[in-house]
Structure formats: structure tokens, C-alpha cells
Structure 1
Amino acid sequence: MCRKLGTSQQVAMRRDVMEIGDMIQNQNAAAKTDSPGTLLSGSYREGFRLKESDIDTMLWRVDHRVIWELSHSQYYNMHSQTLILGDISNSPPGFTLLYLLSPSKLRKVQNACVRIGNRHYISSSKYRHIACALPSSSYMSPHGPCASGFIGPMEFDLAHCFVSDFWPPSASSWIDRCHSWPPSNIVDDIVQNGCHLVPIGHKLGQNEGNEWRISFSRAECTLVNAMNHCQFLTYGLLKLVLKEIINNGLDDGEKLLCSYHMKTAVFWAIQQNIIPHWCPQNLLDCFWVCFKLIFKWVYEGFCPNFFIPANNMFLGNIHGAAQKLLFIRLYDLYEKGFAFLLHSPSIRFSIITALYNLDNPFRTDEHILISEKEFDIELFTEIHKNDSICIYKAPLKSCLMYLEAIEQLLSAHSMTQYQILVLQKRTANILQNLAFTVPLHTLICASENKMRYRADKVSCHTLKLAAKFGCITDMLYIAMYYYKTFRFQKALSIIDVLKFKLSHPYVIYNSNVNARIYTETVGGQSLFSKMRHAVAEDITLENVICYVYELMPEQQSGLQNMTFFLTVRFFVLLHMIEILCCRHVDTMRAQIALNDLQTLVHYDQGQLLDCRDISWQILGICQQVTGNLQAALYSYQQSLRQCHLINRIQIATLMRIQDICQ
């Protein structure tokens, strides 16, 4: 199970890496009212890395606050903040109306208001429709209170919501119920962090189009983090059984149970002390207790929300004929006992092993389940992914604010080694953005050569500093800057150094590395040392910043399609910069580099993954600048045929094809 769901060390690392993104963004939002507060949730944030694991992102305006009593208004400045009163008097448990107490300057709030009696309420359906129609929500589809989309192969939900600093009165009984779990310090932390309001009403409520659901996503993240590892594995096992057995073969409309019901069952089982010992040896017993609890809820047609038990989460869809069919399906599994777990392809082998080794079916020594190399690969992959899903950063002004936020976090919080590593990598990224942004701003304003020289010197120093914070491939930004400022020989010298560093068999790239040599060479070293000397990753370019003039059309195409990053495989971009530099100083080397790039793209064996569109595009650009128009046309046509989920460069591709054909 640990190999499928993660060891306790892996899960802790995943959570630390994900949490730091929220911390940076919310530190920045505290200083800027137009910067959104964020909360990442979903199974990805909880520490799962299953194929279907998703990311839920909640965004809210920090200058809009929901209160539950008028007396709460004394804690806010009515001139700078918009207050909203939660009115639960006529709503089903777990839902509320939002009454606008003070005027809002936000147009989408104004347009979402409806009059009920003599008051203005914010309509959830109107607000959701307006938010999903925003440019940032293009390429997304409605999904409950969210807009659903993809970051590469990973699904994510984006919910525009409101936040309340106060715990809702309808959930006050939960505080009194927490005698044994969670501990009092966690209860206090949860209550002090309040809740969120997401734009969806109760299906059977009289004000469905206007009601908002009270969301406890932050509290649930805290509770999942408070689970011991056996409880986490039980939750994960329930998720696997749901996907691979209970919902297997059903259409989306027939899938009545969801992962949230599984999580709720584990919460109730822990708090009610149904299981005296949550330990690896009792994992199957823990699972069976939770499964029977869900079975009982389906039989009764009542699934109590963990925070507001009067909120029956089955009320909208599990009743009547649908409830009867689900009960029959679960009863059939119940009669088979543990044997029904053999129908799960993910855990079949583990169950068979356990049944044949009843005296000692479970190994609990986690340190032998995953090697140092495997753990490091996942850690550095997690850090790279975290940069890909972080909130979009505008250059210059925001970069400086992010650096200040990182400094404040380091001074005010006790960080884990994984979080410090994320902050170092994020600092490197911000410094790179600054290096490519500051000179453009300065050169426009400067008329003297001395000013230009200083700006250039600052940029070079900043990029070299960034390379010391980041991984091996961050040196490529130095080469890009030298190419952009016409210092081709210097750029080529950096490329030569990069090629030498990347030739070592202990370097991790795309999860590939020689395990024995990696362990012998860098095993036992600090994570920072490993990242600097043994990690290579692909390049993510912000589309609002010009790194290489030849890629500007592709970046503009991405911006037009509301994509803020251009993701390029490292070796593809390395060959491109080498070709662009060599065509000015060494045409023979340029041709060799072009041949290498052509071989890489034409004979792709899976290493280009979701970046085949930009890889073919770059090959076409290099062929076009070296005069081979026919080959360039073929490459652009191949680029159009690729998946465009990530970079969305079709507009630039069509433009380049048109230029060649004219």
C-alpha cells in the first residue's frame, strides 16, 4: 500500500511542497487587495499521487469578507473592505444566503446581485456564471461550483468563492464533539481559520440559484494532515475501491458515491473511536469498519456531513431507485468479505500476499520500501510541478513583492527542509524573471551607455545568483541572456559547460538516472547540493517576458489563449540556442546542432511527452532561419498535429506556415 499511496515520509514531503505555494501567495495577497487569496485542496494536496488525483483551487478577494453576526463588523474597516452577511435562517443545513452589507467595487459582485425583499443578495448561480465566463476561465468547463480544466494531463477545479474569518454558527456543535480527535490545538487552529463559501445551492432548497454552500476545505486539509499513516492508507484504500470496484463500469451519471463520502467515513470512524488501534497490522480491519459505515449510510439514505451532521449529503442524489441499486451493489461486495478486494488491479497482489502470510502479513519498515534515488526523483519532480501550478506572476513589481514574501516567510515560520528547498527554487525563478525584465525597463528610460552597462551587469549577476539557487539547467537562462544581448561566444561557452555537466550518469532528468552511480556519487549529500549538481529539468518561460526573440510569436499565441507559460524540453531549447548562436560564428557547428535537434524530434521515444508541439515548432524555426523552408514547413505542419493542452501555440504555427507559403 505504501508503494501505491506513499510512505509517511513521501506523503509529508508532498504536503510540504504543496503548502508552500499557498503560503507565498497568501503572504503576497495580504499586502495587495487586488491579489487573490488562494487555497489548494483536493486529493493532490492531501498527499495522494494516483492517476486520478486532482487539484482544487479556491480563489477569493481579500477585501471581501463574510460575517455571521452584525457585531463582527467591528473588526473590519468598512471603507476599505466589503462586508457580506451570511443568512442561514431560510436555507438547508450547510448552506446560506449572502446579504451584501456594504457596496462592492467588484463588477462581478455587482452584476451577481439580486433583490430578495428589500435586501441585495449575491446570487450563487449568477456569480458562478460570471466567474466561469472570465478570460482566465477559458478552456474550462463548468463542474459544480467550479470551472474544470487541465494542467497538462492533470485535472484541476477552480472555484471563485468568498472567505469568512469566523466559524459558522451552524457548525458550532462540531467544536463540542471533538473530545478525542482531533486534538484541541488543531480544533483551535481550524476554528480560527474560519470557512469558505462556494457558489452552489442545495438542489432541493427553495433558493437554490441564490444559496451558497459552506465549504470546510481548509479544515479538511488540516484533518487529513492530522491522520496517522494507517488512517491515511485506509482513506486511500477506500478511494481505490471506489474507483476500481464500486464505480467500475458505471457512467458518470451513475456514480453516486464519491471520494468525499470516503473521507467523511474515515473522519467519523476516527472521531467516534470505532477502531481502538489504527496501525498497519489492522489496516484491513480499519478499512472494513469504514466500508460498513458507508454501507449503513446507503441503507439508511443518510450521510451526515462531518461538520454539520444535519446536512444529509445523500439528499440530492441517493434516494429511491438509485439508492436501492447502490445498496444491492454494496451488499454483493459485503457478502464476499475481504475477497472482493481482489477485483482491484492496484491492490490485488498485496491482498494475495497478505492472505498467504497471515502470521506477518504487513511490513512496516518504510525505509526499505523506497530508495534514496526514488525519493529524490519524486521530491525534485514535485518541486518542478509546484512551479507549474503556482499562481501566475506578473513581472517586475510582483517579482519584488514575491521576494519580500519569501523573506518574511523565512523569518516568521519554521520551515521543513523540503519547504526551504522549494523557496530556494522559487527564488531562482523570480531572479530569472527580474534579470530579463529589469534591463528592458531600464534601457527604455536610460540614454547613457553607463546606465545600460549597469543594468546589464545587474542582470548577469542576478542570473548567476539564480543558477546557484537552482538546478543545473538554470544555467541555460544565462546562455539565453547572452544570446539576446548578442554575446554569442559567451552563450556557447555556457552551453559547453551545460553539456559537460549533463553528461554525468548521476544527473536526474525526466526521472531517469543510473541508480548505482547516483547513490555512490551524491548519496547522503544535502538536498540543496543534490539539486545544484545532480538535477536537470525542463524550462518554463513566462509568456509576458521576452527570453528569445524567435519565440515571441509562440508566447503571444499562448497569451491570446490565456496560457501564461511556455513549457519546453530542456535539450530542445539547448539545441535551439546553440543553433541561433552558431549561425553567426560557426556555421558547421550550427549544422551539427541542427542535425542533433532533428534526430531528437524525429525519433522521439517518449522523452518529448506533452511538449511535442513546441518541439516540432522549434525545429521548424531553426530550419527556417538556416534557410531550409521546405523542411520548416513540414515541421510546422507536424506541430499542428500534436496535442495542444499545455502551450496552445496554434496561432503562431498557422502564422509561420502562412509566411512560408506566401
Structure 2
Amino acid sequence: MSESVFVGLCEIVGTSQQVALRRETEDIREMVTKDMMGIVGGQVIFGSGMISGSYREGFRLRGSDIDTMIWINNYRVIMDMSQSVHYTANTCTTLILSDSSESPPGFTLLQLLTPTTDIEVQSSCVRMNDRVYISSSIYRHLTCSAVIPNFTIHGPCGSGVIGGNIGKGLEYDIAFCYICDFWPPFASSWIDRCHSWPDPEVVDDIVRNGCHFVAIGHPLGPHEKEEWRFSFSQAECKLVYAMNHSQFLTYGLLKHFLKEVINQQAEETNKLLCSYHMKTTVFWAIQQNTLPHWCPQNLLAGFWVCFKLLLKWVYEGICPNFFIPQNNLFLTKVHGSAQNRLFLQLHGLYKKGLACLLQSPSIRSYIIDVLYNPRAFVCTDESFLKSEVDYDVELFTEIRSNASRSTVNLQGYSVAQVLNSPLTHYKVLMLQGLNVSNLQMTAFILHMYTYTGVNKQMYIADKTCCHMLKLAARFGCITDMLYIAMYYYKTFRYREALSVIEMTKVRLAQPYLMYNNCVDRERYTEAVGGQSWSTKMRQAMADDITLNNKICYISELIPEQQSALQNKWPVLSIRVFVMLHFLEFLCYRHVDTTLSQAALDELQVLVHLDQVLHVRDHIGDISWEILGICQQITGNLQAALYSYQQSLTHYPYHNIQTATQRRIQDIVGTAMH
């Protein structure tokens, strides 16, 4: 009966293979960037961090935000003073004591035990009862304001948005927290409950990795502004990984049901329940073994078990935290008249039975098949649900996305850790993508530090840079050839750069090109179907150009990179065809002015066409900026002025408006003289 729903959810949430590749590529990215994490929407923080929440769990649901947790490595929280002996040999570790004596379950005060030179921590300290504590509210404000442009407070996080206004772009949350290497005594009952799920190996791994503390206090506690909340995000991720795919799809179905049905019932109750309540419901339902067999045929039965448990919790006004049951997740929201209204709404849905799922636009068509033709056979073999091209698109998107948002620092420790871990096919490919980015950045950094040296040093460095960039292009996608062209232009080898650009042009013109998730499936399959993924990446895949703003690639873009850095933005993301014509224009200026103008004409058509079609409009600011730079170089100041003004009308994705305004001032000043 549930097979068609299984198929539908695989379409929406992902097949087990899709979920696995998402998780594994993120796992390897985190491993190799362990000690230098590039924050989405902010600057580089030296410390450790992880993506958490739905994105890390393997969901790619439209409208979902990306949650990031960041902590500084040399700070450690201990549960009692006896644990301090584990750090006495390391004088660099700043110790913090968890003091839960006056806090509600799941919350604590953090007492600073050893001196610190960290300005944010020092400024966050408050004195109570002759002891120094770190205020969660002050620390949250200081850390978020330091790295997140135009942030808003969202629970323990600072929230920002990429590529549009709130509600339109990609929203992200960053939580600055502290790590504890020990499992909290308050959660010891969870270990005792783990008889049937998860497996003992998972339990041991979770307990061994401790927990975190995020900067938010209990609103009903005595020290709301100072308290910190226990965070089990790392453990929750491991629990979601431990689910079978049917359990994971049930979790996904609950998330959709919350968003599209429960939260659409009434405005007064649409913020009482959240995705975390759905996750907690699934955890308890699986562990309590309320459904003996979680499989595609029982998918709707699993949903109904979870929905009834949620209904019971709302009736009682108690949603027990999975790790610390004494922490009632409903305590501050689901109570009184709001609780009664929510219960009546949920009970109304309950009385409709599974037909209540018809109110979900995403899964309505699949539910109709079940309700009106329950005996129809539906194949649940995933190999028939997605094609080779589908998985190629997914994998390429994950790898390039992860590589572009990572500041890679492949130190010896990280490499050793990678080599000692089991490397799946997906992890190897992700590591390949990260190494491509690392080689490119290293080459340009090396040039920055050696171009003023003696001739022999410059010669050796140049050979090394060229070798690294060619190696990156060998293992990367078609787009990565343009980094060679950028380097040749930077070192005044214009004809060599143009030769690389021409080769790139030919390869980008292939009818089977995969770019921005668009591909002619039939031609792609004919050209590279069945070949190794590395071959597909080199021959058929293209991506936009990502420039780290701390590295100089093209001198003409230095003002834009500086402007972005001043506004806490780490990279420029430039459409590959915009970059291609930009480089072509710059190089031909020194070789053939007629061809230079032809390149500029092509760039102008491209940027104006994107304006009409709204192609990748969220990064239109840098496209118009580059067009304006080229026009200004040729002396066409009126056209350049128009392009810069167009750049300012786009969403400031790259935070380059300071550079744009200065360029406009230069043009106006020139015209006045």
C-alpha cells in the first residue's frame, strides 16, 4: 500500500544512493577542513566546525537553511573538576566548568576556570557569586556580529541569507559554541535505553565524542542571558545516519507534513511545532520499537505511529528531549490556550486518517494512488527510480558546492586521518575535488609570495605553479582550465593564455556539456555514459569560477575582492562564460585590439541576455561589474557607468558595492575634468 509513497518520497527526499553521496561528500569535506573552516557568509575561523541539521543529515529540501556549528579548538568544557586532569599536560587549553546546579534540565552555566586572551570571551564574562561565567547572550552577539553580514538572532544562532532577501535566498544559521569531550551525566539514561536501537557501536561512538554547548538560555530559567543549552547535534546526525532508508523517508514525510499541512492550519499555531520536534518523534518511535518492521511497505504505518505519538505529546503538553527526557521541549510554547488550539487542529487531521496527507501538495498525487488503488503494484527497486545522469548531476553538484565553500588546508594530520579512514567511491571523488581547489589556491598564493624574489626562485616557483594548475585541470572539470589562463595572464603570457581559452571554448561548446544542473541527457549518455566519474568530470562537466578573496588572481578585480572582504564575504563566484570572455578581452588587449573588442561584444551580449532571462540573477552583481570594468578600460565611460549602476540594482550577493560606487565616482570625476 505504501510503495507509491515510497517512490514519491524518493523523488522528493532522495534515494538511498543520493542520500549516501550527500552525506559522504560532506563527511570528507569536514574531515580535510577540520582545522580551518570557511563559514558560509563570513570569514575564515581557525577552529573546528561542522554542518549540522537537515543539510548534514542528507536532505536537500527547497527552502531549508544550512546550519553550521563553530568552536575554537583550545577551549574545552568539563562536567566536574576531576576531568581537568585530562588537560593538565596541555597548558594551551582553556578550561570551562559546566555548572547546572541552578539551571533547568538541558541547560547550564559555563564557568571560566582559566584565563584567556580571546577578546570575545573576555568581553562576555560576567561575575556571579564571586565566580566568572561566560554570558551566552553577549558571546552570541559578539561572535555573530564579527562574521555575519546583517545578521539576525535565531535561537542560539546568527542568521544570514545568500542570494536574495529573507524568504527568497538561501538562509543559513551559524552557532558559535563550546565542545565537551565527555558525555553529560544528565544523559546517562539514554545509554541505558539503547537496547534495540541504535547499535552498540553507534552508541559508543556517540558517547565517545561528547556534546556541545550552544549560546541560548532557558526563557524560564533564573539566568536566561547567561545560560547555555546542551547540544547533541553531532549525536543526532549519527542517529539519522543509523536509520534505514524507510525510517529516513518517514522523517522526511513528517517534515513535509509539518511545513505543508500542520503549519498551514492557522497563523496562531503555525510556529508552535518545528522540524526538531519531528526528528524527536521519529527517534522515540524507532527506539520504542512501536513498528517492528520499517520498510517501504510500512511507510505510511510508520508515519501514523509518529503522528499519534506527536498528538499524544501535544495533548499532554510534554515533548521529552531524546537525550535528556526531563527537558520538555514544549515547556515555553505548547501550553495553555495555544496547546488546546494545536491539539484540536491535530486531532481534526487525525480523524481524517491517512487522507489528511492529501493536504500536502508535494505528496498528494502519490497518496491519491494509495487511497484509490491500494492493490496496485509499484516497483520499489531504486535502480529504476533514478538514471545514471541523475546521480552524476547530484554528485557533481555536491562536490563542486563543497569544494567552492571550503578553505582547504590539507595538513599532515588531516591527510593521515583521511588515509586511515575507509574511503568510499564518493569520498574519493570529493577528496579529488577538494584537492583541485587546494592546488589552485596554493599556486596563486605561491606566486604572490615569490614574484618579487630573485630570478632562480621565481623560475622554480613559476614552474611549480604551472605544474599545480595543470595537475588541477587534469583531475578537475573543464572550467578548471581557466585557472591556467588566469595564471598566464597574471604572468604576462597572453598568447599562452589565449591558447588555453580557445581550448576551453571548444570543450564548453560540446553538446553533451553538464553545466548548472542542465544537460542534454541523451547526448551526455552517448558521449560519456558508463565511463568513470573522473572521465565524465574532465570531459563533460563545467562549473562557475570561484575566487578566494584573500588571493589575487586578476589585478583588475582587486577592488571588488577588497570590498567583499571588508564586508565579510570570502569569495567571488563568477559565471564561467563571463570569466572566459573577460579573460579573452584582457589578453587580446595586448595582442589584437579588434579581437579584444569582439570579446567585449560577446561579454556584453551574454550579460544583457542573462538580464532578460534572469539566468543566475543572484550573482548578476559581479557579471555587470566585470562588463563595466572592460568598458571602462576601453574608454567607453557612459556604457561603463550604466553597467556599474546595473550592478548596484542587483542583490548584493558579493558585497562589492563599495568598489562599484568608487568606480562610479572615478567615472564621474573623469567626466567633470
Q: Report the TM range for the smaller structure's normalisation.
A: over 0.9
Contact kept? 1:355, 1:361, Cα under 8 Å: no
**Counterpart in the other structure of 2:126:** 114
Q: Counterparts of 2:592 and 2:264 in 1: how far apart (Å)?
A: 60
Deviations, residues 522-566 of structure 1 (Å, cap 9, x unaligned): 111111121121110000101111111111111111011110100
Contact kept? 2:262, 2:270, Cα under 8 Å: no
Q: Counterparts of 1:28 and 1:240 in 2: how far apart (Å)?
A: 35
Q: Counterparts of 1:63 and 1:364 in 2: how far apart (Å)?
A: 49
**Counterpart in the other structure of 2:206:** 190
Contact kept? 2:67, 2:172, Cα under 8 Å: yes
**Which residue among 368, 371, 377 is the counterpart of 2:393?**
377
**TM-score, normalized by length of structure 1?**
0.95
Offset at residue 628 of structure 1 (A): 1.7
SS at match of 1:26: coil
Offset at residue 68 of structure 1 (A): 0.8
**Counterpart in the other structure of 1:91:** 103
**Which residue among 559, 576, 581 is the counterpart of 2:587?**
581
1:104-183 superposed matches below 5 A? 104-134=116-146, 136-152=147-163, 153-183=169-199
Q: CA separation of 1:252/1:653 partners in 2, compared to 1, >3 Å: closer, same or farther?
A: farther
**Counterpart in the other structure of 2:538:** 532
Q: Counterparts of 2:584 and 2:362 in 1: how far apart (Å)?
A: 45
Deviations, residues 416-454 of structure 1 (Å, cap 9, x unaligned): 11111111111111111111111221233x2x3222222
Q: CA separation of 1:8/1:205 partners in 2, compared to 1, >3 Å: closer, same or farther?
A: same
**Counterpart in the other structure of 2:365:** 349
Q: Counterparts of 1:470 and 1:388 in 2: how far apart (Å)?
A: 13
Offset at residue 612 of structure 1 (A): 0.8
Q: Counterparts of 1:512 and 1:555 in 2: how far apart (Å)?
A: 29
**TM-score, normalized by length of structure 2?**
0.94
**Which residue among 603, 608, 617 is the counterpart of 1:609?**
617
Does 1:46 pair with 2:57?
Answer: yes
Matching residue's letter, 1:436? F
**Counterpart in the other structure of 1:635:** 643
Q: Counterparts of 1:318 and 1:361 in 2: how far apart (Å)?
A: 42
Q: Counterparts of 1:248 and 1:18 in 2: how far apart (Å)?
A: 33
SS at match of 2:451: helix
Contact kept? 2:25, 2:427, Cα under 8 Å: yes
Contact kept? 1:281, 1:362, Cα under 8 Å: no
**Counterpart in the other structure of 1:396:** none
Q: CA separation of 1:251/1:493 partners in 2, compared to 1, >3 Å: closer, same or farther?
A: farther
Offset at residue 336 of structure 1 (A): 1.1
Q: Counterparts of 2:418 and 2:91 in 1: how far apart (Å)?
A: 33
Bigger relative contact order (CA 8 A; separation at least 6): 2
Q: CA separation of 1:250/1:382 partners in 2, compared to 1, >3 Å: closer, same or farther?
A: farther
**Which residue among 60, 70, 74 is the counterpart of 1:59?**
70
Contact kept? 1:476, 1:574, Cα under 8 Å: yes
Offset at residue 252 of structure 1 (A): 8.7
Offset at residue 455 of structure 1 (A): 1.8
Q: Counterparts of 1:560 and 1:249 in 2: how far apart (Å)?
A: 44
Contact kept? 2:269, 2:341, Cα under 8 Å: no
Contact kept? 1:16, 1:418, Cα under 8 Å: yes
Does 1:100 pair with 2:108?
Answer: no
**Counterpart in the other structure of 2:255:** 239
1:481-630 superposed matches below 5 A? 481-604=487-610, 605-630=613-638
1:125-524 superposed matches below 5 A? 125-134=137-146, 136-152=147-163, 153-248=169-264, 250-251=266-267, 254-360=270-376, 362-390=378-406, 393=407, 401-405=409-413, 407-444=415-452, 446=453, 448-524=454-530
**Counterpart in the other structure of 2:23:** 15
SS at match of 1:351: helix
Matching residue's letter, 1:562? K
Q: Counterparts of 1:301 and 1:115 in 2: how far apart (Å)?
A: 36
Deviations, residues 552-592 of structure 1 (Å, cap 9, x unaligned): 11111101111010010000010000011112211222222
**Counterpart in the other structure of 2:41:** none
Offset at residue 215 of structure 1 (A): 0.4
Query: Where in structure 2 are there 5+ consecutive unaligned residues?
Result: 1-8, 38-43, 164-168
Contact kept? 2:269, 2:342, Cα under 8 Å: no
Q: Counterparts of 2:384 and 2:443 in 1: how far apart (Å)?
A: 44
Q: Counterparts of 1:372 and 1:244 in 2: how far apart (Å)?
A: 31
Q: Counterparts of 2:299 and 2:358 in 1: how far apart (Å)?
A: 16
Contact kept? 1:558, 1:564, Cα under 8 Å: yes
SS at match of 2:569: coil
Q: Counterparts of 2:489 and 2:301 in 1: how far apart (Å)?
A: 63
Offset at residue 491 of structure 1 (A): 0.6
> Aligned residue pairs: how many?
647
Query: Where in structure 1 are there 5+ consecutive unaligned residues?
Result: 394-398
Matching residue's letter, 1:166? F
**Counterpart in the other structure of 1:651:** 658
Q: Counterparts of 2:582 and 2:36 in 1: how far apart (Å)?
A: 36
Identify the range of structure 1 (44-53 vs 301-310) with the bigger mean alpha-carbon deviation: 44-53
**Counterpart in the other structure of 2:85:** 74
**Counterpart in the other structure of 2:166:** none
Contact kept? 2:447, 2:465, Cα under 8 Å: yes
Offset at residue 176 of structure 1 (A): 0.4
Contact kept? 2:26, 2:56, Cα under 8 Å: yes
SS at match of 1:551: helix
Q: Counterparts of 2:630 and 2:582 in 1: how far apart (Å)?
A: 7
Offset at residue 74 of structure 1 (A): 1.1
Contact kept? 1:575, 1:593, Cα under 8 Å: yes
Contact kept? 2:94, 2:116, Cα under 8 Å: yes
Deviations, residues 213-235 of structure 1 (Å, cap 9, x unaligned): 00000000000000000000000
Contact kept? 2:261, 2:359, Cα under 8 Å: yes
Q: Counterparts of 1:636 and 1:99 in 2: how far apart (Å)?
A: 52
Contact kept? 1:623, 1:629, Cα under 8 Å: yes
SS at match of 2:655: coil
Q: Counterparts of 2:80 and 2:561 in 1: how far apart (Å)?
A: 49
Offset at residue 415 of structure 1 (A): 1.2
